[in-house]
Amino acid sequence: MLTFVKDKDIALSSADAIVNASNGIGYMGGERGIIIRGNGVAESIHYISIGRVEELSKAVCRNKGILGYSPGSVFITSAPNLNCKYVIHAVTMRFPGSKSKIKTIRTLLPKIITVAEQKNIQTVAIPLLGTGTGRLSTSDVLYIYKEFMPKSKIHFIVYLPQK
């Protein structure tokens, strides 16, 4: 199932899991991001969680090695101080600020579905991956979502960009 939400903050979602468009090293805003809320999904999760999700994310990435995760990878953390149980980190770029590739989003969707099914997650809040910092086309990403998500038993709540 697919539901669209407009002009809402994904970090406040009460879905079972929130998908974070992640970089491969787990950075989500640093010290400054705890005090000042940034515009992106990672920054909002970081701010609302008071930095706890970033701590977990960076630790998981450090365990992967010096370069962390490559684009197209997925990892999961708990979600301290958020309304959801988990954060599914979908690596859309290796390092913060990089450009994403549409083929990476196509690779990520089946992995997100698999992780959600393995954790018995019923509802997943997901942004339009790669369309913020990653600079991908909204329509291209929506096309991929409409291709993969309706085939899943998971209820996806797609958060469209805030104005």
Domain ranges of the chain: 2-160
Question: 3.40.1480.10, 3.40.220.10, 3.30.413.10, 3.90.1330.10: which CATH number matches 2-160?
Answer: 3.40.220.10
Split at pLDDT 50, 70, 90, the class of 113 is very high
pLDDT attached to residue 55? 98
Question: What is the CB neighbour count within 10 angstroms for residue 5?
Answer: 13
What is the value of pTM for the model shown? 0.96
Query: Is the pLDDT at 163 greater than 80, yes or no?
Result: no
Which of 151, 161, 95 is closest to 129 using CA atoms?
A: 161
Q: Is residue 162 predicted with pLDDT exceeding 80?
A: no
Nearest one of 8, 51, 11 to 29, comparing CA atoms: 51
For residues 95 and 104, what is the distance between their CA atoms, to the nearest angstrom?
Answer: 14
Average pLDDT rounded to a whole number, residues 56-77: 96
